[in-house]
């Protein structure tokens, strides 16, 4: 089974959303998420707004990028963490530049969530993963 990793700074918003959408839509591939400087908890607004999409992240935890065996991932998607993004193998890395919604108005947060969902669906098609 192939493995995909989504990375952002805190692993509290964007990468958690991407992991959840990917695991909802993809078959024969599993997604994980991590942060370069993980927050203590997932942002409560992320949990709230993902419920609108039928995805419950209530019991999810944040993960540190450095605790993962990077060589085990087929693809690593960085969410736009700029200078604090960890160094990842170029041949495995796909860069997405998505604004962190933390602290933004609810509608802007939804816009970011929906953009991530669209990009995940497109990624699944591009990687020819049965969805």
Three-state secondary structure along 72-100? HCCEEEECCCHHHCCCCCHHHEEECCCCC
Tens-place pLDDT, residues 53-80: 999 999 999 999 888 877 789 999 999 8
Count Cβ atoms below 10 Å from residue 107 Cβ, excluding itself: 7
Give Cβ neighbours of residue 59 (< 8 Å, ≥ 6 apart): none
Task: Say if CB 75 and CB 48 are below 8 A apart.
Answer: no
- The per-residue pLDDT for 90 is 76
- The per-residue pLDDT for 71 is 76
Tens-place pLDDT, residues 18-62: 999 999 999 888 999 999 899 999 999 999 999 999 999 999 999
Domain boundaries of the chain, sorted by first residue? 2-126
Residue 105 has pLDDT above 70, yes or no: yes
Give pTM, 2 decimals.
0.92
Q: What is the CATH code of the structural domain delimited by 2-126?
A: 3.40.50.2300
Count of residues making up the chain: 131
């Amino acid at each position: 089974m192939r493995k995909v990793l989504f990375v952002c700074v805190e692993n509290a918003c964007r990468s958690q959303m991407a992991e959840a959408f990917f695991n909802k839509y993809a078959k024969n591939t599993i997604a994980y998420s991590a942060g370069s400087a993980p927050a203590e908890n997932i942002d409560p607004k992320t949990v709230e707004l993902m419920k609108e999409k039928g995805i419950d992240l209530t019991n999810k935890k944040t993960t540190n990028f450095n605790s993962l065996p990077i060589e085990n991932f087929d693809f690593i998607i960085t969410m736009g963490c700029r200078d604090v993004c960890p160094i990842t193998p170029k041949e495995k890395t796909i860069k997405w530049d998505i604004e962190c919604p933390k602290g933004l108005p609810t509608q802007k947060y939804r816009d970011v969530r929906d953009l991530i969902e669209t990009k995940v669906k497109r990624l699944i098609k591009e990687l020819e993963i049965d969805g």
